[in-house]
Structure 1
Amino acid sequence: MPRPKTPIAKAKLTGAYDKHPERYRGRNEPQGLAELGEAPDYLSETEKEAWTAFAEELPWLVYSDRALLESACILRARVREEDVVTASLLRELRLHVSALGGCPTNRSNIQVPDDEVDDEWAQFL
């Protein structure tokens, strides 16, 4: 089974687009995607905090990711609030985070440029 394709927006954030632009030629991805936006009003305060945390942790999320993100926020809030956390709850949260592109494997591929590099030779490392 082939691996799912990485969205172009995520590839640009991770630097994969710059390394292998040929992989992304001819892609028919939606253009002008709306930003993620604020958390829905019907979420609880803990769920809204989870929304904010996900938005900061996964900056490639867009408006079309909201439905999956809402359920991930509900799960994350349950993990924070419940006294006993079940393995099935953690498994479901892990699956949601993975589907949003935030599993540790994906995160290790993201390279955030450091704007405050004082070493002029650092670009060659």
Structure 2
Amino acid sequence: MKAAATGRTAHDPKRFKLRREPVVTQPLGSPPKWMKGKGQIEAWNTFAKDLPWLNRSHRAFVSIAAEMQGRIIVGEELPVSGYNLLRICLGQLGATPTDSSKVSLPDDEANEFDPSKKYF
């Protein structure tokens, strides 16, 4: 959430108290059928394995990132704009060192609302 990243939630906590991220229970799944390149499929599977918080709602970003990363895997040269697009997608997916600290896994969120948490 952008508000948390920019510190707005700490500045005005009442405004954001009842807001919750949507819960998507479906996993990321297999690469789309239209994705044919060996490198792209390998990149997709690597993202799915390395980024366990990804779910079905992330498929569009993962497909773009897999396309760019797949080209790199097979040794194809990318223009600078391709590397920049990959960097942006990875940031949006929480796959960079800076952005990964902002990711909370579903188990973390469940514990946040556990009524017994205040006693332990």
Shorter-chain TM range is: 0.5 to 0.7
CA distance in 2, matches of 1:37, 1:5: 29
Residue-by-residue CA offset, 1:9-40 (whole Å, 9 max, x unaligned): xxxxxxxxxxxxx8985223323531111111
**Identical aligned residues as a percent:** 30
Match of 2:69 in 1: 76
Equivalent position to 1:54, from 47, 52, 56 = 47
**Alpha-carbon offset, residue 107 of structure 1:** 3.5
SS of alignment partner, residue 101 of structure 1:
coil
The structure that is helix-richer by fraction is 2
Q: Is the 8 A contact 1:79 1:89 kept in 2?
A: no
CA distance in 1 between partners of 2:24 and 2:88 (Å): 27
Give the unaligned 5+ runs of structure 2: 5-12, 104-120
RMSD: 2.7
- Using the TM superposition, name which of 77-86 and 58-67 deviates more: 77-86
State whether residues 47 and 73 of structure 1, in contact with CA within 8 Å, keep that contact through their aligned partners in structure 2: yes
Question: Secondary structure at the residue paired with 2:72?
Answer: helix
C-alpha distance in structure 2 between counterparts of 1:106 and 1:32, whole Å: 20
Match of 1:4? 2
- CA deviations 1:60-100 (Å, max 9, x no partner) are 11101001111110111112224433222111111111111
Instruction: State the one-letter code of the partner of 1:70.
Output: S
- Segments of 4+ moved more than 4 angstroms: 22-25
2:88 to 91, 95, 98: 95
Any conservation in 2 of the 1:36–1:62 contact (CA below 8 Å)? yes
State how far apart, in whole Å, the 2-side matches of 1:84 and 1:64 are.
29
| 2:34 equivalent to 1:42 | yes
